[in-house]
Amino acid sequence: MVTTRSMEGISLELSEEQKMIRDAARNFAQKEIVPIAAEYDESGEFPLDTIKKMGAMGFMGIEVPEEYGGAGMDTIAYVLAMEEIAKADVSHSTIMSVNNSLYCHGIMTFGTEEQKKKWIVPVASGEKIGAYSLTEPMSGSDAGTMKSRAVLNDAGTHYVINGRKSWVTSGPVADYIVLFTMTEPEKKHKGITAFLIDTSLPGFVRGKKEPKLGIRASATSEIVFESYECPVENVLGQPGEGFKISMVALDAGRIGIASQALGVAEAAYEASVQYARERHAFGQPIGSFQMIQQKIADMKTRIEASRLLIYNAALAKMRSKYTGERYSTEASMAKLFASETAMFVTHAAVQIHGGMGYSKELPIERYFRDAKITEIYEGTSEIQRMVIARNELGLR
């Protein structure tokens, strides 16, 4: 993205490379995902074939350098692609977001060269599915209270991991997982360590699959560790550095979720504009009624404000590569506003469509169900407000 100046003022313009991936994602999403989205939402089946195609096109590792199997592009390109995939189906974009932000970004930032080659290449290329596991049944936002444990064996060669993790996106199908668990419980969040987990090894058990309101094609489950032996070379970063790694990944992830929220809001908005033009009542299009116009105006304004917050966060992330500065505030503001915009817009879309908005004949009710999760995962709206306020008050 470049900034240009003219007589009319300042303009933000996309680079040709950014336009290319946006258009590629849009074409793929409309041709490959839109026709199957309702079917996969109904069945809850994981769309593995489509995800592999997305990997082949570079969508599963957009910011990962080409030598590690990715597309080697920037955060703006990631945002644009996420938006287009989410407009077609939020479930597909959820799988894409976890692979890109929570899995690949953390390993690219903290992993060794050997770890990047082993754990990123197959995931960024779409051959394997990655996941991220922080939450536990009794430990959500308060990670310092997690009950799972990793204990170094006497020989110092392996950690033995036991415990139960919950709400693992892609858990039922993941090949590799970035796991966060306690190695020094007395230190609370400073005693968390990150591990790279191969789910094919003994001691890894997939738990119950979650029956969800929305994003039903994005498989979510518990995972259980029963004396799972993890080699010490699979520790990501340093022991005790897990909480820091998890938060760095979440900063990146929140930009992805904000982009996802923007995509579903746009889909609901575009459908509402079309419906308001075509649907007639009392001898005129319903779009001529002021109450409908108010909804359309508020929807559009929130969508465009969300877009600018997302671009601001994406640019802050890109700058951080050179400055080392965190972009937590920018990411949290983008996720907070965009996710609440998604709920506002999809709710308004149901109202505009009336009975048809409540019917499964149209995708409006799916947009509404899918939008809700953006206010919850990777930090609830309440957590985002807390992050923003604490940063502004200097209470980090």
The 10 Å CB-count burial string (b at 16+, else e) for 255-294 is bbbbbbbbbbbbbbbebbbebbeeeeeeeeebbeeeebee
Tell me, yes or no, if 278 is annotated catalytic: no
Nearest to 124 by CA among 172, 215, 54: 54
Alpha carbons 249 and 103: distance in angstroms, whole number: 8
Contacts of 207 (CB under 8 A, 6+ apart): 164, 166, 171, 221, 222, 223, 224
Q: Cα separations (Å) of 85 from 60, 124, 169, 287?
A: 11, 17, 17, 28
Q: What DSSP line would sit under 105-158, residue for residue?
A: IHHHHH--HHHIIIIIHHHHTTSS-EEEE--BTTBSS-GGG---EEEE-TTSSE
Alpha carbons 202 and 251: distance in angstroms, whole number: 32
Catalytic position from the list 136, 340, 375, 378 = 378
> What positions carry a catalytic annotation?
378
